[in-house]
Structure 1
Amino acid sequence: MGGTRKGSGELTEQRGTARGAERVGLLSLMALVVGSMIGAGVFSLPQRFAQETGVLGALVAWLVAGAGMLTLALVFQSLAVRRPDLDAGVYAYAKDGFGEFAGFLSAVGYWASACVGNVTYWVLIMSTLGAVFPALLAGGGFVAALASTIGLWFFYHLIKRGIREATAINAVVTVAKVVPILVFVLLAAFLLDPQVFAQNLTGAGYAGSLFEQVRAAMLVTVFVFLGVEGASVYSRHARRRSDVGRATVLGFLSVFAVFASVTVVSYGILPMSRIAELPQPSMAGVLSAAVGPWGGALVGVGLLVSVLGAYLAWTLMAAEVLFVAARDRDMPRFLAESNDRDVPVNALLLTTLLSQVVLVITLFSANAFDFALDLTAALSLVPYLLAAAYAVKLAVTKETYADDRPAMRRRELAIALVATVYTAFLVYAAGIGLVLLGCVFYVPATILFARTRRERGARVFSAREFTLFAVVVIGAAVGLVGLGAGWITL
């Protein structure tokens, strides 16, 4: 990567590396973090937690998950300051720390996870609207597929109009979708029944110990924090590089407070057993029990706005990662083209096309839809792990650290180590089967890497890169064997 590496005492405010790039401020960057993290998951939290634990277990689970993800947010904040020359952080950190092929795997995996994840939003939108317009559920899903396709390409043209317009819309949508959630929290807190809350306190109805309840609830939190890297991915458009770190931490803390509040106040409205049986979005059932049918309608509107906002944020990030990788000659050069509004048009088009293909598949298969949710998380977590490990590498080698500030280096090393261990646990929690299936995707995707190297007139693999590729091929082979043997299922 270009740029001169600097010690922490020499860092200055920088305006990014993209000439003529449209600049966005702290609030817009923070909205990208919040917008990408708050999708459909928050509306399902009451039921998912009530199935596993009571109030005490939920509080412990959120404390552990929040602390772990906070260290990751602090890692992104630190890296934004220490390496301001690296844009689209999740991909760039993996490349700078562990080589071009590792960076390529991080970029293509992150991009694919965003495309696959985006499709799940359209499925949720159509299922929610289907309750009001039954035609969306008729015809074997054809009407829903058609409506989703129209929406998908509408967003393509919206983002193509310009980065500033898209991020401004995202900021408005973020506010619009947060309001119903905050209304839910305030109403549930005001109507909270202390007796019901006390009955739900210890999770006495569950057979497992508190530790077992917390462990099960932790798995619920694994996927809800995806998107914490939103500002880092979009760093080349920041007015001030320091805004990237601030937006990451402030956005994370805001979303964490919302997630935990939604979970806890729900225990004061209904017994755990009833919450656990609510259909999704369970937040609607809780609010309907508290205030009547209009509460469920309010949550339904919030869900639609939330999902659309998350789709916009993730489409922006997916195209951005692909574009920056191509600009840095780690993807084919045609993906590095942008229009006069600083929009990576070819990267955006390829992102939309992949989403379209996956949309056609998943809308007609419930199993494929569930699989897409899990694979989205698994592909996203590996780049997180590499970013945290990169922060550890910088601290251990003392690169970018001034010699006269050892205390800062030790503190950031400790944070990076915790983040690395935590994200490694999340990869483990996602399941080895999904990691192996990710390898199945990486092997054919490596064709893009080979084409890029040929465009540069370079060898396809160095010796170390070939070793990593061999490991990926072995993982893919094991994954295919697992599919054939039935111990990995789609």
Structure 2
Amino acid sequence: MSNKKIGLVSLTALVLSSMIGSGIFSLPQNMAAVAGSEALLIGWAITGVGIIFLGLSFFYISRLKPELDGGIYTYAREGFGDLTGFLSAWGYWLCATIGIVGYLVVAFEGIGTFTDSENQVIFGQGNTVASFIGSSVIVWLVHLLIAKGVKEAASVNLVATVVKVFPLILFIALALWYFSPETFRQDMQGSALNNSVSDQVKNTMLITLWVFTGVEGAAVLSAHAKKRSDVGLATVLGIVIALVLYVAITVLSLGILPREVIAAMPNPSMAGLLNEMIGSSGKIIITFCLIVSVLASYISWTMYSSEIPYRGAQNGAFPQILNKLNSNDIPINSLWFTGFIVQFCLVLVLLTGKSYEALLLISTSMILVPYLLIGAYLLKLAFLQNAAWHIKLTGFMATLYGIWILYAAGLDYLLISVSLYVPGIALFLHSRYRHQGGKFNLNKWEKGLLLVFALLFIWAIQVLLNFDWG
């Protein structure tokens, strides 16, 4: 039996690993394409403040309500009722489960850079038959790893996180050595982009919006922590480390090559920048790091994905079949459920390609409401318990940031994501009916919320029919 708990270092590594996936390796090009150095610095300042308040929300909730396990789902349910809690859990689970498929796609696309040639394509863009077989093998190997115990999986993730962070530190060290203040100061306002600094800032926000997804990892796995106090601390530590890495990599890159040159680079753009500094070995280092990074992120996100339905099943929000632990205290049926969904999405990747990319972006927008509810719950909790002023301020700022990122995501994607909530609501009603002995027992607030979703669903269908799927 594996009943070991996760310590602070492993918890922090889980948070960091889930945030640092494939995006960081393309971040220099992504940011340079939309902003000059002035807007980039402002954008990071806004994001940094907002995400720190969000992280502090997890920190304070874990201390005000140390008995609550499950993070995203449990906090929303405790603060706003069963239906809201389920919607938060469903949105988060769907985002996580569909999103982790992207890690497998990127991993085998990276492997393809070492094996493929113009005359022979084996792994391609991660959507070939060979990629499908390889990804499927990884899905079930990770399934076996996690089934043996969270401690064991977290230990593997810790090693992988160290491996993937080291080259990032190497990149930053080299960038400091090669940094040119003159290059950095060229066109700081990004005049060649033909838009204002404020517009550039908004465009950077649309990118930085996603890079901190995974901040909630320690809270989701709080039941497996050695000490409950480690949950909030691991969250804050993970955020600070990730923020330093993100800012350093993007800002220093603009001192290596001009913005317009970086903006035209193929991704992962860090490979091109490292190639500029140390030669062709740079591409090999970054590609290897990318593969390790996304596979480590896959492990951590699979752990989160299996935990959420299990927590929901305990309260009748998900089917009771998911409320089962194996001898290693792992929610085994929920883990199987997640594995089968990932396998189904891999089939979609093989068959649909670009349609899957659109689905991925839509599903990712579903995580924004759960983030908003975290700040809102701390704000409510702080006033109910008459907590210190700085805790109330944290809840307010995190809520404000949650509203901002909803706005930045765009109305179309948020509306279309409503269509993904509808099957979840049907699942909730079925599970609740069984759990409540043949009754729904919905209060007026929940009935009103269902009506709002019904109206939004009609609007979402209209948007869906006119949506450009690329």
With the length of structure 2 as denominator, give the TM-score of the two structures.
Answer: 0.95
2:275 aligned with 1:294, yes or no? no
Stretch deviating more after TM superposition (451-460 or 463-472): 451-460
1:228 aligns with one of 215, 218, 221: 215
Deviations 1:256-301 (A, max 9, x none): 0000011011111111111001111011111111111101111101
Q: How does 1:346-425 map to 2 (within 5 A)?
A: 346-396=333-383, 398-399=384-385, 401=386, 408=388, 410-425=389-404
Name the amino acid aligned to 1:82: L
Deviations 1:349-371 (A, max 9, x none): 10011111111112433322321
Paired residue for 2:16?
34
Paired residue for 1:10?
none
2:444 aligned with 1:463, yes or no? yes
Paired residue for 1:11?
none
Tell me the distance in 1 between the aligned counterparts of 2:125 and 2:6: 43
Tell me the distance in 2 between the aligned counterparts of 1:202 and 1:431: 25
SS in 2 for 1:132: helix
Paired residue for 1:112?
94
Name the amino acid aligned to 2:391: E
SS in 1 for 2:195: coil
Q: CA deviation at 1:202?
A: 3.5
Q: CA deviation at 1:57?
A: 1.6
2:302 aligns with one of 307, 315, 334: 315
Q: Aligned residues: percent identity? A: 37
1:305 aligns with one of 287, 292, 301: 292
SS in 1 for 2:270: helix
Q: CA deviation at 1:138?
A: 9.3
Stretch deviating more after TM superposition (465-474 or 226-235): 465-474
Paired residue for 1:343?
330
Deviations 1:446-479 (A, max 9, x none): 2321232233215223332122112112222211
Paired residue for 2:140?
153
Paired residue for 2:119?
none
Tell me the distance in 2 between the aligned counterparts of 1:45 and 1:369: 22
2:250 aligned with 1:263, yes or no? yes
2:83 aligned with 1:101, yes or no? yes
Tell me the distance in 1 between the aligned counterparts of 2:230 and 2:211: 23
2:259 aligned with 1:278, yes or no? no
Stretch deviating more after TM superposition (83-92 or 198-207): 198-207
Q: How does 1:138-149 map to 2 (within 5 A)?
A: 141-149=128-136
Name the amino acid aligned to 1:443: V
2:425 aligns with one of 430, 439, 446: 446
Q: CA deviation at 1:488?
A: 6.2
Tell me the distance in 1 between the aligned counterparts of 2:446 and 2:297: 35
Q: CA deviation at 1:380?
A: 1.0
Tell me the distance in 2 between the aligned counterparts of 1:424 and 1:369: 27
Q: CA deviation at 1:312?
A: 0.6
SS in 1 for 2:26: helix
2:433 aligned with 1:437, yes or no? no
Deviations 1:126-153 (A, max 9, x none): 2111222221229972221111111111
Q: CA deviation at 1:169?
A: 0.6
SS in 2 for 1:364: helix
2:120 aligned with 1:133, yes or no? no
Is the 1:184–1:287 contact (alpha carbons within 8 Å) kept by the matching residues of 2? yes
Name the amino acid aligned to 1:378: S
- C-alpha distance 184-416 of structure 1, shift in aligned 2 (>3 A): same
Q: What's the Cα RMSD here?
A: 1.8
Deviations 1:368-423 (A, max 9, x none): 23213312321111111111111111123x23x4xxxx6x1x22111111111111
Is the 1:374–1:430 contact (alpha carbons within 8 Å) kept by the matching residues of 2? no
Paired residue for 1:65?
47
Name the amino acid aligned to 2:445: R
2:462 aligned with 1:475, yes or no? no
Tell me the distance in 2 between the aligned counterparts of 1:296 and 1:206: 28
- C-alpha distance 430-288 of structure 1, shift in aligned 2 (>3 A): same
2:68 aligned with 1:86, yes or no? yes
Tell me the distance in 1 between the aligned counterparts of 2:227 and 2:126: 51
Paired residue for 1:9?
none
- C-alpha distance 394-20 of structure 1, shift in aligned 2 (>3 A): farther
With the length of structure 1 as denominator, give the TM-score of the two structures.
Answer: 0.91
Stretch deviating more after TM superposition (437-446 or 235-244): 437-446
Q: CA deviation at 1:171?
A: 0.8
Is the 1:377–1:430 contact (alpha carbons within 8 Å) kept by the matching residues of 2? no
1:324 aligns with one of 311, 330, 338: 311
Stretch deviating more after TM superposition (213-222 or 302-311): 213-222
Name the amino acid aligned to 1:392: L
Name the amino acid aligned to 1:286: L
Paired residue for 1:6?
none
Gaps of 5+ in 2: 117-121
Paired residue for 1:8?
none
Deviations 1:165-186 (A, max 9, x none): 1011111111111011111111
- C-alpha distance 336-21 of structure 1, shift in aligned 2 (>3 A): farther
Paired residue for 1:45?
27
Is the 2:127–2:350 contact (alpha carbons within 8 Å) kept by the matching residues of 1? no
Q: How does 1:142-181 map to 2 (within 5 A)?
A: 142-181=129-168
Is the 2:14–2:157 contact (alpha carbons within 8 Å) kept by the matching residues of 1? yes
Tell me the distance in 1 between the aligned counterparts of 2:461 and 2:421: 13
Q: CA deviation at 1:70?
A: 0.5
Paired residue for 1:196?
183
4+ aligned runs moved over 6 Å, structure 1? none
Gaps of 5+ in 1: 1-18
Is the 2:143–2:339 contact (alpha carbons within 8 Å) kept by the matching residues of 1? yes
Is the 1:232–1:245 contact (alpha carbons within 8 Å) kept by the matching residues of 2? yes
Is the 2:157–2:299 contact (alpha carbons within 8 Å) kept by the matching residues of 1? yes
